[in-house]
Structure 1
Amino acid sequence: MKLSDLKTGQHATIVTVQGHGSFRKRIVEMGFVRGKDVEVLLNAPLQDPVKYKVMGYEISLRRQEAEMIVVDTDPSHQQPVVNHGTMTDTVQDTCDQSLPAHVGNTINVALIGNPNCGKTSLFNFASGAHGHVGNYSGVTVDASEACATCDGFVFNLTDLPGTYSLSCYSPEELYVREHLMKRHPDVVINVIDSSNLERNLYLTTQLVDMNVRMVCALNMYDEFERRGDTLDTQTLSTLFGVPFVCTSFKSGRGVQELFREVISVFEDCNASVRHIHINHGHEIESGIAHIQQYLKCNVVVRTLFSTRYMAIKLLEHDDRAEAYVAKMENAKEIMAARDAAELRVKEEKKTDSETAIMDAKYGFIHGALTEAGFRQGTKEDTYRMTHFIDDVLSNKYLGFPIFFLILYVMFQTTFSLGQYPMDWIESAVSWLGEQASALMPEGPLRSMLVDGVIGGVGAVIVFLPQILILYFFISLMEDSGYMARAAFIMDKLMHKMGLHGKSFIPLIMGFGCNVPAIMATRTIESRRSRLITMLILPFMSCSARLPIYIMIIGTFFAAQYRSWVMIMLYVIGVIVAIIVSKVFSSFVVKGEDTPFVMELPPYRWPTPKAIGRHTWEKGKEYLKKMGGIILVASIVVWALGYFPHDESLSPVQQKEQSYIGSIGKAVEPVFELQGFNWKLDVSLIAGVGAKEIVASTIGVIYSGDDSFGDDDSFSDDTAKYSRLRNQMLADGITPLAAFSYLLFVLLYFPCIATVIAIRNETGSWSWAAFSAFYTTAIAWIVSMLVYQIGSLF
């Protein structure tokens, strides 16, 4: 029967994985191996995808992918593949890798492991760096570097993206593999989640194939012991030929011992280290040896790579390995040897060489764990609580309402709670401006400081509390594990949009900042879904737009409507993204989607320290913008509005005849159908550099005009907005035009940093330019339609 036929709570034994190519490879790598028990845990609210338990961890699959897995419900048929003692001591395949030069006692260390195994926690604990630790896969989307010290040695740490294997199925896998082959770190720290030993050790076997110097960190070992699990780590070290160290990076347990093991491995004096070959069976081993004979004829290959590893990759039909070999002089002989070896494997094993290699590796892992006395305890505290929470948060009826309630609470709290510190900061900015005006003589310098610097930067810095609150909620969802559940809940809807369920994680991250969200699309295996996600990400209201929203909404809308207007903007952005995504997936970006295979880690309560650190890191980035691009832009906008200066003119007349007035008047016809005036037009142009500049530009342009006093048309809490409201109303800006303006800000040109990020991730300026052009066109059309149709009523 098919895995998709099982009901919730049922168990079965995996018989085989059908299909071909990268789909089957990824499914097997993730633990769906012949002979393993699989249990159906939970259906998503829309009954697709489904959460399964295999090899002690939880993973989601769509039903259409589960149909490709054949299972047997008779428990007596469960016969796991066991491969006892299938390794041999050897030194025949040591490659002449040229290691980087060292200065004193410096060791270059690469951190490698499965997603969510704790690499970044080690990176932060050892180095004091502030990398983001999230309880879902794909947090580290690029290599982070920092230094640590121990016993007089300096460690150059590189935190690499999480990866399940060293294939070229996803960008992370390829990135990690290229780093190992080109950078040649002195020692690799392979971080292993102790709760998922069998699955995590699959990556370890591939690192053994690469013949890298390695130390394995059995992370979260405190949870391992709390569950009552047992393991002889010394025996495991002997079997794998690398030292295993029990660690817990939250408490710091074993970290010093880990780095001492790194030192001993680096100095070639570690008793556990021995080079082994994992025996893949007679036919495969014969094929590997035959292919190696031809590979060793090439000096470059022998110098840079393990020829054994390259031979294995060729038998796995690895695209990059085949492309590399194709450039060699004896490429035909190598590929002929590969084809002959594969044919022998098919005749002997009745399966392709790729599947046979994966089965052999899992057989070796199972045998090694058995020999090392691995026993699972009876306590399952972590997943028991996770299942209880998932029964509520991923419930068929409650899943979506709870999800939207969380988003509502996030935005409502951001707007309402953040209002109090915002008032304090605004009072401080106002007091600072008054003091500067009183102490300095009238002239260009005072005008620049009061109207340009304080007026421009102050108009944006007051929104720091809202930014911090927003990032607090995003960090909470990421670190707790709920973000992965959000992708699980939303996958079916995302699939109908032509996207992958994993696309939802970058889209949610886009509410914070579009740039890291675009980088996070690397976790999406499908190039098609990755590209579409990048193109629609600018429609997610990033935190840079928040100051504009708060300024305009607070100016034109009464207090009881503000949260709804704010939520409406976010919802409209999502709706436009859905429509555009469907159009792109149907007509613009062609290609097949990849299966929704994603680990669902257990819920973990994030530490206040981690949440506070991550939130403050984002706050610091915001403050750096204030002292950098926002400050410069504010001064430029002030200068354009101050010169040429005529003392005989009123502030309003002065702005109109200035350089910025001339620019605004020139582009005013373009936005006439939206109901904007030249001042709003100029702010939109300035916002191309960074969206915060839109708010600072409005602050500068409307500063210094005291012709309009406060009124009592709004409640007391909006008194601070009344002056700006009266000024904009006098300029002909109605609440309808203001809402159209907000829509334009929501949808138009992504900031320069986002455009560059799209270029870097796609490798093409064409897609970057396309994103800038089409978003602006949509913004113009939508804002025009809203204003024109609204004017009819």
Structure 2
Amino acid sequence: MSQTIRVAVSGQPNCGKSTMFNAITGGSARVGNYPGITVDRLEGIYRENGHISQLVDLPGTYSLTSYSMEELVARNVIVDEHPDVVINMMDATALERSLYLAVQLMEIGAPLVLGLNMMDEVRRSGVTIDVDKLSQLLGVPVVPCVARLGQGRKELMHAVAETAERTQGKWTPFRLSYGPDLDPVIERMTKAIEDANFLTGRYDPRWLAVKYLENDEQVMAEGVKAGTAHEALLALCTEAETLTRKNSATTPDAIIADWRYGFINGLIKQGVVRGNDELRRNNSDAIDKIVTHKLFGPLIMLAVLYGMFLVTFSLGAYPQGWIEKGFEWLGEMGTTYIPEGYLQSMLVNGVIGGVGSVIGFTPLICIMFAMLVFLEDLGYMARVAYMLDRVLRIFGLHGMSVMPLIMSGGIPGGCAVPGVMCARTLRSPRERLATILTAPFMVCGAKTTAYLMLVAAFFPANPTRAMFFVVLAAWGFVLLVSKLLRSTLIKGESTPFVMEIPPYRLPTLRGVLLHTWERVWQYVKKAGTVILAVSILMWAVMTFPELPADTVAQYDTQKEQAAEQVKAAHPDAGEEELATLTEDAQKEVEDARNEEALKYSVAGRVSEALTPLTNLAGFPWQANIALIGAFAAKEVFVSTMATAYSMGQVDPEEPESLSERLASDSAWTLPAVLSVFTFMLLYTPCMVTVVVIARESNWKWATFSVVGSLCFAFVVSVIIYQIGTVLLT
């Protein structure tokens, strides 16, 4: 029986790594031009000629230094799982940059096979790469490939089988010189590591010494726990830095990078590359002269993003309406066929109403994701990050922060869940954390629903302008809070904006559909299950405890009296007319009963308890309940406000009815309206987002996102309400 060959597929972003992985395994790994797309672990099997290879697709990474989650995950898989062979896919049009990762893999000692991708584009540019010479100089197999066409996959796997058989699982680290200043220090550090048996069970001693000189955060953190040799190594690092600053006016990590690139440059100059030195695509460069122009670039970007969301809301309105009508029909069926009582109320108002509010947004999410996937795969979103880096950097963010912010609702309609997850693409943990904590401030699809209802109530003459200012406010608060966080709790140097701008490549329809479905299903699965539970919970806290029997009897008596009064006032009315008049007369009594029942429930009592505090911000008591419910899911705000105003739910035929009731309530003064607008924008992320924040960082920061944003939102709302009240008095 053949032994399985364990293979790790590595590569820098945009090199075609995941495309080749799909071609080899027949799988569906995420393929995109936006750096950091492949984050989750993906595995596949390849069988041929009696050989069985088990492949794992590593996250795209520029190096093996733990600046980002991708680099850390890729390195840990290689170090801890010790694969038999590592396939390193490289962009042949950017050979020098691509070889940087290959050299680091050689230094760690992994048996290596290089896949030289995009060779068709190299040939079109008039360049010749001597693959055999490159293989000879590096001492590893090099296979020319065109991943998008599947060319080279069989040759690549033949080289994997031969390498596995030749090395028999033995790792042989490549020893690269780092010059007269560092080499002696590295030797001393290597000996100290070997003598102390310091982390040698996991790392090669010389490689570990180099990582100390590079000030690798993960290695340093492990070293602190590993023993006293850590202090000795730090002393040698300090000695090395003193020497390099004196002799070269630079740091050890910079010298290490320089010598690696020097080694690579020397290889290339030995006849490996012949012809035009520029391996970029002329068409992409010509387009970028306009697309990334200082003046036209931002204008085009705004037009593209505005058009994207315009299409989302225009096209999505139709299927969204169909889905909403479908859930309305389900609710009617539940009311008709399920006996009146708790079960009917829970299923119709809790389950169907709650889940329907989320699923109704699925068409919008689907269209939005389809366009985002298209722009990512096209290569445009990398240009957006490049253009916005200069502005975001001022506030402690990074050019790569733009995608999480846009996906979270930078233009209304996004969702903070995929937005926070998208922050994985940031290399710096500090900039990633600042992005994660502020992304929920954006106007997500759920908030959009609430704002549309509030804007219709209080700014009916200028709804577009009002929504525009809400979006501007969201961006402004993101930048302000990011600057505040990066100046206090998340201090640290900004990460240089290093990102390969990929060439434009027209995405395939199959790829766009496949990747859109993956994202939409993730949204439905994660959001839908939580909304289901939350909707049932909110139904319960707004239903129990019920009004005492004597109070219910009083309202029943009032309804009977109202019916008698109608009957006496209209003795000649027909049966149908009399029923309509009676229903209208009893509605006021029923509304009063619903309001008192809500106040008597757990949610109502909590709202009453919070009133002395929320009065400082001018919140009407109904808003207290709605905002509490909206913590679970912002979609709950509208339905909760409807219930709080004794309306049960918003009439789908008259969506303005709730807005009209709000506008007629004297408690909603302009300062109170602006206060609630601001609080809704800034306060605690929804439960799903909090869970994702915890998963992407930890529960300490997730808790901070809840408590910190709640306190910040309340303080800002109080300031707005108090100042507004004084100015209008």
- The amino acid of 1:532's aligned partner reads A
What corresponds to 1:632 in structure 2? 533
What corresponds to 2:483 in structure 1? 582
Report the alpha carbon displacement of residue 420 of structure 1 after superposing the two structures with TM.
1.6
What corresponds to 1:686 in structure 2? 629
Matched, 1:772 2:706: yes
- Distance across 2 between alignment mates of 1:500 and 1:178: 25
- The amino acid of 2:43's aligned partner reads A
Q: Percent identity?
A: 38
What corresponds to 1:146 in structure 2? 43
What corresponds to 2:578 in structure 1? none
Classify the secondary structure of the residue corresponding to 1:164: coil
Matched, 1:137 2:35: yes
Pick one of 560, 568, 571 that aligns with 2:469: 568
Contact kept? 2:199, 2:223, Cα under 8 Å: no
Distance 1:597 1:441, change over 3 A: closer
Contact kept? 1:642, 1:654, Cα under 8 Å: no
Pick one of 362, 385, 389 that aligns with 2:261: 362
Classify the secondary structure of the residue corresponding to 2:149: coil
- Distance across 2 between alignment mates of 1:428 and 1:324: 56
Aligned length: 678
- Distance across 2 between alignment mates of 1:626 and 1:358: 44
Classify the secondary structure of the residue corresponding to 2:504: coil
Matched, 1:747 2:682: yes
Contact kept? 1:241, 1:275, Cα under 8 Å: no
What corresponds to 1:429 in structure 2? 327
Classify the secondary structure of the residue corresponding to 1:688: helix
- Distance across 1 between alignment mates of 2:334 and 2:698: 48
Pick one of 434, 438, 446 that aligns with 1:532: 434
Distance 1:316 1:641, change over 3 A: closer
Distance 1:298 1:238, change over 3 A: farther
Q: In the TM superposition, what whole-angstrom CA distance separates every residue of 1:327-355 from its partner, at most 9, and x where no partner exists?
A: 55667887898899999999999987655
- The amino acid of 1:422's aligned partner reads Q
Q: In the TM superposition, what whole-angstrom CA distance separates every residue of 1:369-407 from its partner, at most 9, and x where no partner exists?
A: 344642245997x63222222222222322232222223
Report the alpha carbon displacement of residue 742 of structure 1 after superposing the two structures with TM.
4.4
- Distance across 2 between alignment mates of 1:424 and 1:735: 36
**What are the ranges of 5 or more consecutive residues in structure 1 without an aligned counterpart?**
1-102, 711-717
What corresponds to 1:212 in structure 2? 110
Report the alpha carbon displacement of residue 200 of structure 1 after superposing the two structures with TM.
0.8
Report the alpha carbon displacement of residue 526 of structure 1 after superposing the two structures with TM.
4.8
Pick one of 597, 600, 613 that aligns with 1:657: 597
- Distance across 2 between alignment mates of 1:570 and 1:469: 20
- The amino acid of 1:361's aligned partner reads R
What corresponds to 2:318 in structure 1? 420
- The amino acid of 1:747's aligned partner reads L
Instruction: Give the superposed CA RMSD.
Output: 4.2
Indicate the larger mover: 322-331 or 159-168: 322-331
Matched, 1:186 2:84: yes
Q: In the TM superposition, what whole-angstrom CA distance separates every residue of 1:173-197 from its partner, at most 9, and x where no partner exists?
A: 3443333323323322212111111
Report the alpha carbon displacement of residue 618 of structure 1 after superposing the two structures with TM.
2.5
The 5-angstrom pairing of residues 301-312 of structure 1 reads: 301-312=199-210
Classify the secondary structure of the residue corresponding to 1:257: helix
Contact kept? 1:652, 1:705, Cα under 8 Å: no
- The amino acid of 1:752's aligned partner reads M
Q: In the TM superposition, what whole-angstrom CA distance separates every residue of 1:76-97 from its partner, at most 9, and x where no partner exists?
A: xxxxxxxxxxxxxxxxxxxxxx
Contact kept? 1:487, 1:502, Cα under 8 Å: yes
Distance 1:742 1:221, change over 3 A: farther
Distance 1:475 1:781, change over 3 A: farther
Contact kept? 1:221, 1:247, Cα under 8 Å: yes
Distance 1:120 1:515, change over 3 A: farther
- The amino acid of 2:470's aligned partner reads L
Distance 1:255 1:451, change over 3 A: same
Report the alpha carbon displacement of residue 468 of structure 1 after superposing the two structures with TM.
1.9
- The amino acid of 2:624's aligned partner reads D
The 5-angstrom pairing of residues 662-677 of structure 1 reads: 662-672=605-615, 676-677=619-620
The 5-angstrom pairing of residues 458-473 of structure 1 reads: 458-473=356-371
Matched, 1:408 2:306: yes
Pick one of 120, 124, 128 that aligns with 1:230: 128
Distance 1:311 1:661, change over 3 A: closer
Query: Which has the larger Rg?
Result: 2
- Distance across 2 between alignment mates of 1:290 and 1:583: 43
Classify the secondary structure of the residue corresponding to 1:268: helix
Contact kept? 1:393, 1:402, Cα under 8 Å: yes
Contact kept? 1:459, 1:696, Cα under 8 Å: no
- The amino acid of 2:444's aligned partner reads C
Contact kept? 2:68, 2:427, Cα under 8 Å: yes
- Distance across 1 between alignment mates of 2:260 and 2:309: 48
- Distance across 2 between alignment mates of 1:672 and 1:351: 58
- The amino acid of 1:779's aligned partner reads A
- Distance across 1 between alignment mates of 2:161 and 2:353: 55
Report the alpha carbon displacement of residue 510 of structure 1 after superposing the two structures with TM.
2.8
Contact kept? 1:471, 1:615, Cα under 8 Å: yes
Contact kept? 1:229, 1:374, Cα under 8 Å: yes
Matched, 1:622 2:523: yes
Report the alpha carbon displacement of residue 310 of structure 1 after superposing the two structures with TM.
3.0
The structure, 1 or 2, with the larger RCO (C-alpha pairs under 8 Å, 6+ apart) is 1
Q: In the TM superposition, what whole-angstrom CA distance separates every residue of 1:660-706 from its partner, at most 9, and x where no partner exists?
A: 44344443454446665444422321232333444564577679749
- The amino acid of 1:691's aligned partner reads K
Classify the secondary structure of the residue corresponding to 1:192: strand
Distance 1:694 1:629, change over 3 A: farther
- The amino acid of 1:616's aligned partner reads W
The 5-angstrom pairing of residues 418-567 of structure 1 reads: 418-511=316-409, 512-521=414-423, 523-526=425-428, 528-550=430-452, 552=454, 562-567=463-468
Q: In the TM superposition, what whole-angstrom CA distance separates every residue of 1:17-44 from its partner, at most 9, and x where no partner exists?
A: xxxxxxxxxxxxxxxxxxxxxxxxxxxx
- Distance across 2 between alignment mates of 1:506 and 1:148: 33
Classify the secondary structure of the residue corresponding to 2:86: strand
- Distance across 2 between alignment mates of 1:257 and 1:652: 78
- The amino acid of 1:686's aligned partner reads G
Contact kept? 2:447, 2:634, Cα under 8 Å: yes
Distance 1:136 1:677, change over 3 A: same
The 5-angstrom pairing of residues 271-350 of structure 1 reads: 277-278=175-176, 292-298=190-196, 301-313=199-211, 327=226
What corresponds to 2:561 in structure 1? none
- Distance across 2 between alignment mates of 1:124 and 1:510: 29
Distance 1:721 1:206, change over 3 A: same
What corresponds to 2:583 in structure 1? none
- Distance across 2 between alignment mates of 1:319 and 1:424: 52
Report the alpha carbon displacement of residue 207 of structure 1 after superposing the two structures with TM.
1.0
Report the alpha carbon displacement of residue 609 of structure 1 after superposing the two structures with TM.
2.5
Taking structure 2 as the reference length, the TM-score comes to: 0.79
Indicate the larger mover: 638-647 or 197-206: 638-647
Contact kept? 2:13, 2:61, Cα under 8 Å: yes
What corresponds to 1:40 in structure 2? none
Structure in which a larger fraction of residues adopt helix: 2
Pick one of 64, 79, 90 that aligns with 1:166: 64
Matched, 1:248 2:188: no
- The amino acid of 2:264's aligned partner reads I
Contact kept? 2:88, 2:113, Cα under 8 Å: yes
Distance 1:212 1:456, change over 3 A: same
- Distance across 2 between alignment mates of 1:684 and 1:182: 47
Distance 1:190 1:432, change over 3 A: same
- Distance across 1 between alignment mates of 2:160 and 2:596: 68
Taking structure 1 as the reference length, the TM-score comes to: 0.74
What corresponds to 1:88 in structure 2? none
Contact kept? 1:124, 1:130, Cα under 8 Å: yes
What corresponds to 1:21 in structure 2? none
- Distance across 2 between alignment mates of 1:352 and 1:663: 59
